[in-house]
Amino acid sequence: MKSLSFRLKIASLSALISGVVLLAFGAASWFLIYREKVQAVDTDIRSLGTRHPGWLANRSNFDRFNNSLEFIFGDEHKGQILLLVKDAQGRQLYVSPGWPKDLVPGQIDCALADDPQAATQAATGAGAGSRGPPWAGGGGMGRGPGAGRGGNPVLFTKIPRFFTAPAGGSVWRFGVMGNDDLRVVVGLNYDAVQADLNRTRNVFLGVLPIALLVVGGGGWLVAGRALRPLRSISRTAEGVTARGLAQRIPASNEDPEIARLIQVLNGMMDRLETSFRQATRFSADASHELKTPLAVMQGELENALQAAEPGSPAQQVFSNLLEETQRLKRITRGLLLLSQADAGQLKLALEAVPLSADLEAMIEDAGVLAGETNLRFDTHIPPDIWVHADRGLLHTAVLNLLNNAVKYNEPGGSVGVTLVAEREQITLTLCNSGPGIPPADQPRIFERFYRVDQTRSRTQDGLGLGLSLAREIVHAHGGTLILKESRPGRTGFILALKQLVR
């Protein structure tokens, strides 16, 4: 599973944390608004129900109260205010004309007796006369027709008890209060408050995604700005190769930590460049200095071999020493070329090279190298294909590939050589029918002195430099050399170069 980028993680975490904070703030704000609106409704109910008891003396006062409401608010008050009055014995003295049919007045007592939590909500907290829930006994009142289901009378005091109930397709807020003689229930329509609360909630939930997008976008931009120096470090590090060790990360004054990191990395690259140049110089100098002694040794051994008695032990010793000297010369030449390539100083004597004709000649030499292995060469080489290259170095690279195809093949196997010219590029494919390269070794085949089979005898004349040298030569010509495939029965390399159009 692909992991998220650091920048996306920062943006996501910013949005997540902000979302949690905004949700907590929104919930707290909604609760405060809800409590404030409920308290406002409860205050209105209290102001209506806690007037002097004298106005509750008879029914005419109730009718006068209702007419006053109708005069002030019109017919709309019928759906906004409810009034229920009972005496101490539970007889109904007055009920508003607009009382909902699905809310029986007697249900108020049951609601108070069955829902103590709703019934004990007070507008201003506990006080005198509100020490117990409204279904509790005491207060000087005895049992009567208005007693609750538990047999205890419903106690009414001037401190209202509030609860909310749905009725008539609306939601109502009721306040229950009274004295020793009368009890009154005042209800106010709660729909407007509920709608206002729902509207506030919906606006908040609608704005929340936009706020999270803004916060996430801000986190994305901030993370991008913070990562800008790191991207510069990454681009510079990608360009640091054996030929680009002189590159350094530009200094940054935006952040002390980033500036310190850049300073440390630049110091590390300074040390790497120094060490690499010392190693390259040593390899080049040693290879160069060994050329002359080895050439002298080879000449002396050839003279001694010719002067030795045929078939004598001395002749065999000289022959073996001559082979080792030639091997050392090849190693020295390969190391010298590689050190020059590492330092970017591989000199190319570019010229027009008839690649088709040269390949035919190299394949003939490879056939001689095959000896008695009975290898079959399958060639597809179009005539008159030319490239612009150093002829000697290109021959070295191609011969290394051909030698590997012959040496690491099966007796009676085959070697395939295919040359294809397309537009301005030529592609040379070399395949053999050998046992193949194990998958674990394939990524390392171009490493220097790395041999796939460490137990191979030195009679195969493998130095572990052929493929690495071939790739460096091809790269110096602006081309590519890759392992196309390797499996039992088929191993193939692809060499690509620019074509010289004549």
Average pLDDT over residues 234-244: 70
**Contact of 249 with 232, CB cutoff 8 Å:** yes
Residue 380 confidence (pLDDT): 92
Q: Which of 267, 281, 276, 279 is nearest to 241 (CA)?
A: 276
Residue 60 confidence (pLDDT): 57
Report percent pLDDT > 90 for the chain. Answer: 10
DSSP letter at 250 equals: P
What's the Cα-to-Cα distance from 276 to each of 40, 95, 240, 494, rounded to whole Å?
82, 102, 12, 30
Question: Which domains are delineated in the chain?
Answer: 1-49+191-238 (no CATH), 52-189 (3.30.450), 256-342 (1.10.287.130), 350-500 (3.30.565.10)
Instruction: Give the residue, 75 or 213, on which the prediction is more confident.
Output: 213
Over residues 299-325, the pLDDT tens digits come to: 888 888 888 888 888 888 888 888 888
Residue 61 confidence (pLDDT): 61
| HSE (side-chain half, CA atoms, 13 Å) at 345 | 8
Over residues 391-434, the pLDDT tens digits come to: 888 998 999 899 888 888 888 889 999 999 887 889 999 999 98
Residue 128 confidence (pLDDT): 32
**Sign of torsion, CA 103 106 109 113?**
negative
Over residues 461-493, the pLDDT tens digits come to: 556 778 888 898 898 888 999 999 888 888 999
Instruction: Give the residue, 274 or 215, on which the prediction is more confident.
Output: 215
Average pLDDT, the chain: 76
* Least confident interval from 20-29, 129-138, 312-321, 372-381: 129-138
* Least confident interval from 25-29, 142-146, 426-430: 142-146
Q: pTM for this one?
A: 0.49
Over residues 167-214, the pLDDT tens digits come to: 878 888 888 887 777 778 888 888 888 888 889 889 998 998 998 899
Residue 53 confidence (pLDDT): 46
Q: How far apart are CA 274 and CA 246, in angstroms?
A: 10
- Whether the pLDDT of residue 456 is over 50: the answer is no
What's the Cα-to-Cα distance from 452 to each of 109, 331, 443, 499, rounded to whole Å?
95, 18, 11, 33
**H or E element, residue 86:** strand 81-87
DSSP E strand boundaries for 424-479: 425-432
Average pLDDT over residues 236-245: 68
Helix (H, G, I), strand (E, B) or coil at 90: coil
Q: How far apart are CA 378 and CA 376, in angstroms?
A: 6
Residue 95 confidence (pLDDT): 80
Over residues 357-395, the pLDDT tens digits come to: 999 999 888 888 777 778 889 999 998 889 989 888 899
Token digits of residue 85: 């009055």
Residue 91 confidence (pLDDT): 79
Residue 133 confidence (pLDDT): 32
Q: How far apart are CA 194 and CA 144, in angstroms?
A: 36
Q: Which of 390, 407, 379, 384 is nearest to 463 (CA)?
A: 407
Q: Which residues pair with 422 in a beta bridge?
A: 425
- Banded pLDDT at 244 (limits 50, 70, 90): low
